[in-house]
Amino acid sequence: MTDIKKTSAIDTDWWRGAVIYQIYPRSYQDSNGDGVGDIPGIIQRLPYIARLGVDCIWISPFFTSPMLDFGYDVSNYRDIDPMFGTLSDFDRLIAEAHGRGIKVMIDLVLSHTSDQHPWFKESRANRSNSKANWYVWADPKPDGTPPNNWLSIFGGSAWEWDGERMQYYLHNFLIEQPDLNFHEPEVQEALLDVARFWLDRGVDGFRLDTVNFYVHDKYLRDNPPLAPEEINDKTAPAVNPYNFQNHLFDKSRPENLDFLRKLRRVMNDYKGITSVGEVGESQRGAEVQAEYTSGGDKLHMCYDFALLSNEIPSGVHLNSVIETFDAMSSDGWACWAFSNHDVVRHTTRWHLNGTLQRLYAAVLMALKGTVCLYQGEELGLPEADVAFEDLQDPYGKRFWPKFKGRDGCRTPMSWTSGKANVGFSDGKPWLPVAPEHRRLSVAAQEGDPNAILGFYRRIIALRKALPALQKGSYIPLVAEEDFLVFIREYQGTRVFCAFNLADEARRLELPAGNWAHVPDAPFNSTIEAGRATLPPYQAVFATARDA
């Protein structure tokens, strides 16, 4: 470990417009044959990641954990769970990734811990110990029922009775994931020290899980119901009654901003650090995104579920998402993703064929904001169908069969078609390999010039070659259901971006300027005499520089 980040010259703005590659470590590469991916496995695959061309990897939790929620239930913030490796393995990962020019972000879970964490064991012992107020405890109503109507995302009441303290404790997720009490200053300081621990080990930033859940309403007021027409399934599946409430008091509280400012001050003590907050908010996601990233004193960027939902992103919808965020925060920054470890893979969710997968990948790379890709997205992997008897996810078990949980997007990465378990592990994988993923393996696509993996490499390279696509402003020109046109502008250079989402060719005049077709753009569109022609499901990129 070194403190080089505190002193060396580093591009502190590297994250703005970067491409981040999310790794779900249980399912990426197993190095020891136990069927679970690990940190040495990630190190083994760094050459592949470097060739993909991404700027940074985000690794989902690897902390010591009972694994009831697969690492999102932390029992020790300062160590690696043995199934993933050791702190020495992590230090080697940092060194080797940095040696290849790849930044490393880790997933910090601060809103809650495991019930096996020493903090919670002490807190539940009695009402007078030094950590008695570190979690959200409340007396029952006179009739013995929970303190209020708050619901858990994983189903049922968000309150669990504890016979040790004879009180209820709050859990927004599993019963075994008690919520920390951010109204307690000592809790905040302990969590800031956790951030310092990992920053001192050389991480380049944090993905902050459920960042808007940190602070609860200290008066424990009931959430009001939503009108039927206001209910949506952006945060929880449609079968979950969690969607029926307007979550005014159990999350997204204004006091959260003070903690985010403290966290930003910690990060500012190190050079080149960034943060991405996950905003689980169905009613006002863009507003919270803007709040949390504005002013330069809170988070660097946030994402909500606007592009992770079931709504197929038309040109109108995509433009609305970008313009809404821009209107709410002139100095904030967003992060966009189509897939991650919590949602059905977008290839399946939006019923995309190979042509549309490529087109939407190009859209994502052209949007204003930072981009997150999820492992296997670059292979065009569809959602796996996991049988109930193989299911691991408690969320899926709770709401089966209408909601099958998150295991379908978490199955092993497909490396080599002809090998047992597609090259992921020599042992039995913790989740079964999806048969349809075999033909889409990395090895199978490496030899195919028309494969989607090659397309992702080219479109990522295109974004990195055009600074306007990374850091530029967004100027909308056309936003129709099946047609989206905009300009990205940065330091006197403009990039014209048009996307034909329809099965008929489109033609349009380019704005005034000396436009040149981007030669490396992997599409069949043409530009001639100031006019662009886009075949069905194709895009066009052109550049012009101000005189």
Mind listing the pLDDT tens digit for each residue in 91-128? 999 999 999 999 999 999 999 999 999 999 999 999 99
Q: What is the pLDDT of residues 467-486, one digit of tens each?
A: 999 999 999 999 999 999 99
Q: How do the domains of the chain map onto residue ranges?
A: 4-113+185-462, 472-545
Give the whole-angstrom CA distance, residue 378 versus residue 442. 9
Residue 359 is predicted with a pLDDT of 98
CB neighbours of residue 533 within 10 Å: 16
Is residue 538 a contact partner of residue 524, using CB atoms and an 8 Å limit? yes
- The region that residue 255 occupies, defined by phi over 0 for left and psi between -120 and 50 for alpha, beta otherwise, is alpha
Average pLDDT over residues 161-178: 98
What percent of the chain has a predicted confidence (pLDDT) above 90?
92
Amino acid at 397: K
Residue 2 scores a pLDDT above 90: no
Residue 205 scores a pLDDT above 50: yes
Give the whole-angstrom CA distance, residue 431 versus residue 438. 15
Q: What is the pTM of this model?
A: 0.96
Question: What would the two tokens of residue 468 be?
Answer: 């306007």
Question: What would the two tokens of residue 23 be?
Answer: 């790794």
- CATH number at 472-545: 2.60.40.1180
Q: What is the pLDDT of residues 172-183, one digit of tens each?
A: 999 999 999 999
- The region that residue 351 occupies, defined by phi over 0 for left and psi between -120 and 50 for alpha, beta otherwise, is left
- The region that residue 205 occupies, defined by phi over 0 for left and psi between -120 and 50 for alpha, beta otherwise, is left
Q: What is the pLDDT of residues 284-332, one digit of tens each?
A: 888 999 999 999 999 999 998 899 999 999 999 999 999 999 999 889 9
Identify the residue with better confidence: 470 or 282. Answer: 470
Q: Would you give the distance in Å from CA 129 to the centre of its chain?
A: 37
Q: Can you name the residues that pair with 396 across neighbouring β-strands?
A: none
DSSP H helix total and E strand total for the chain: 14, 21
The 3-state secondary structure of 249-301, one letter per residue: CCCCCCCHHHHHHHHHHHHHCCCCCEEEEECCCCCCHHHHHHHHHHHHCCCCE
CA 388 vs CA 385, 423, 488: distances in Å: 9, 24, 46
∠ CA 122-394-176 to the nearest 5 degrees? 10
Question: Per this entry, what is the length of the chain?
Answer: 547
Residue 9 is predicted with a pLDDT of 55
Catalytic site positions = 209, 278
Identify the residue with better confidence: 336 or 8. Answer: 336
Residue 304 is predicted with a pLDDT of 87
Confidence of residue 547 (pLDDT cuts 50, 70, 90): low
Give the whole-angstrom CA distance, residue 65 versus residue 79. 10
- The answer for residues whose C-beta is within 8 angstroms of residue 142's C-beta and 6 or more apart is none
Give the whole-angstrom CA distance, residue 135 versus residue 26. 29
Helix (H) or strand (E) holding 45: none
Give the whole-angstrom CA distance, residue 462 versus residue 417. 29
Q: What is the pLDDT of residues 218-235, one digit of tens each?
A: 999 999 999 999 998 888
Residue 8 scores a pLDDT above 60: no
Is residue 439 a contact partner of residue 445, using CB atoms and an 8 Å limit? no
Query: Furthest-apart CA pair in the chain: how many Å?
Result: 79
Question: What would the two tokens of residue 189 be?
Answer: 């300081």
Q: Tell me the CATH architecture of domain 4-113+185-462.
A: Alpha-Beta Barrel (3.20)
Give the whole-angstrom CA distance, residue 281 versus residue 374. 21
Burial of 92 (0-12, 13-18, 19+ CB in 10 A): middle
Q: DSSP letter at 227?
A: P
Long-range contacts of 439-447 (CB under 8 A, 24+ apart): 440/379, 440/380, 440/381, 440/414, 441/379, 441/414, 441/415, 441/416, 441/417, 442/48, 442/379, 442/414, 442/415, 442/416, 443/415, 443/416, 443/417, 443/418, 444/417, 445/379
Residue 219 is predicted with a pLDDT of 98
Residue 7 scores a pLDDT above 60: no
Is residue 303 a contact partner of residue 290, using CB atoms and an 8 Å limit? no
Q: What is the pLDDT of residues 356-414, one digit of tens each?
A: 999 999 999 999 999 999 999 999 999 999 999 999 999 999 999 999 999 999 999 99
Give the mean pLDDT of the chain. 95
Long-range contacts of 188-197 (CB under 8 A, 24+ apart): 188/259, 188/262, 190/119, 191/110, 192/262, 192/263, 192/266, 194/77, 194/78, 194/108, 194/110, 195/108, 195/263, 195/266, 195/267, 196/266, 197/77, 197/78
Question: What would the two tokens of residue 420 be?
Answer: 């047992």
- Residue found under tokens 């959200």: 136
